[in-house]
Amino acid sequence: MPGKPQRRKPKPESRKQPSRKAGRPGKPKIKKKPGEEDLIRLNKYLADAGICSRREADIYIASGAVMVNGKVVTQLGTKVRLTDKVQYGGETLKREKLQYVLLNKPKDYITTSDDPQHRKTVMNLVEKACKERIYPVGRLDRNTTGLLLFTNDGDMAKKLTHPGHRIKKIYHVVLDKALSSKDMLTIAKGIHLDDGFIQPDKIAYVEGVTGKREIGIELHSGRNRIVRRIFESLGYKVVKLDRVFFAGLTKKDLPRGRWRHLEQKEVNMLKRL
């Protein structure tokens, strides 16, 4: 007789180890109420409109300078919808797409958004870059060339111009005569100007150039005409001044007088500074 069929023992259920991600306690997701997805803080709205940084926006809000739908709002932390009418200084604001435009500035253009004397301004060079209103971050004087960033990101502009963030800038300087080793050392140690002490982060002769008239100088100060004044204080005249590096950005593939939009990786780099 054939043997009785053996009963198969049921396999023990495999106990899957929960993944670390699944087992990790996380914050419970709070479901937003209908319409809350469109709400943003009022100070961010002002910053995105290119008016100022969020910190400055809080000051404007608290002082009663901002209106929402015809009413003055002074409560910090107030949230608004994108469809709300937000006004500052009597002007209706529009929360715009954030834009970041880099210009290789030529000579004979002044860094201002408006000039009563109708001189050429840097705004003429970037007027077709985007439909949003953008503003220069810091300034370069009329005869200085090189990198100039434009944006409507108020927080970004504030950070890049605040001396506490020590934003790195490198200039290529051409002098009217050779810079002596003694004066080079004097500048490196720091000098006293009318508006205070200034010491560059680095200074050196440009390699491969004879005559010692061409200098590379790195500093983070944003004081007015600071590079020219450093050399003028020691009896030198700056013939040419070109900003070749600003906050991690360079002039690579950017001819004089041309502009380009920053790549997303460059924007992310600026936000990490």
Fold agreement between 36-92 and 168-246: no
Give yes or no for a contact between 185 and 138, defined as CB atoms under 8 angstroms apart.
no
Which tokens go with 254? 């950017």
Instruction: Determine the pLDDT at residue 155.
Output: 85
Is the pLDDT at 171 greater than 80? The verdict is yes
pLDDT above 70 covers a percentage of the chain that reads 86
Q: Looking at residue 178, what DSSP letter applies?
A: P
**Hey, where are the domains in the chain?**
36-92, 100-163+251-272, 168-246
The per-residue pLDDT for 137 is 95
Find which of 19-28, 53-62, 79-88, 200-209 is predicted with most confidence, using mean pLDDT. Answer: 200-209
**Residue given tokens 């300078």 in the structure block:** 65
Taking alpha carbons only, the member of 138, 145, 67 closest to residue 108 is: 145
- Please tell me the least confidently modeled range out of 22-26, 136-140, 201-205, 242-246: 22-26
Angle at 197 between CA 170 and CA 199, to 5 degrees: 30
Q: Which of 73, 74, 75, 70 is nearest to 90 (CA)?
A: 70
CATH superfamily of the domain spanning 168-246: Alpha-L RNA-binding motif (3.30.70.1560)
Q: Which residues contact 214 (CB under 8 A, 6 or more apart)?
A: 172, 173, 174, 175, 205, 206
Q: What is the mean pLDDT of residues 232-258?
A: 97
DSSP annotation of 67 reads E
The residues that are catalytic are 141
- In this prediction, residues 241-269 reach a mean pLDDT of 96
pTM above 0.85, yes or no: no
Q: Using one digit for the tens of pLDDT, what is the confidence trace for 210-237?
A: 899 999 999 998 888 999 999 999 999 9
Least Cα distance to 227 among 247, 186, 198, 205 occurs for 198
DSSP codes, 98-128: --EEEEEE-TT-B--S--TT---BHHHHHTT
Fold for the domain defined by 100-163+251-272: Alpha-Beta Plaits (3.30.70)
Radius of gyration, CA atoms only, the chain: 28
Name the more confident of 96 and 8: 96
The mean per-residue pLDDT over the stretch 68-93 comes to: 91
Using one digit for the tens of pLDDT, what is the confidence trace for 148-167? 999 998 889 989 998 888 89
255-264 residue pLDDT tens: 999 999 999 9
Rounded distance between C-alpha atoms, residue 100 and residue 265, angstroms: 12
The domain 36-92 is classified under which CATH number: 1.10.8.60, 3.40.50.300, 3.30.200.20, 3.10.290.10? 3.10.290.10
Rounded Cα–Cα distance for residues 241 and 264 (Å): 29
Report the distance separating Cα 248 and Cα 241, nearest Å: 19
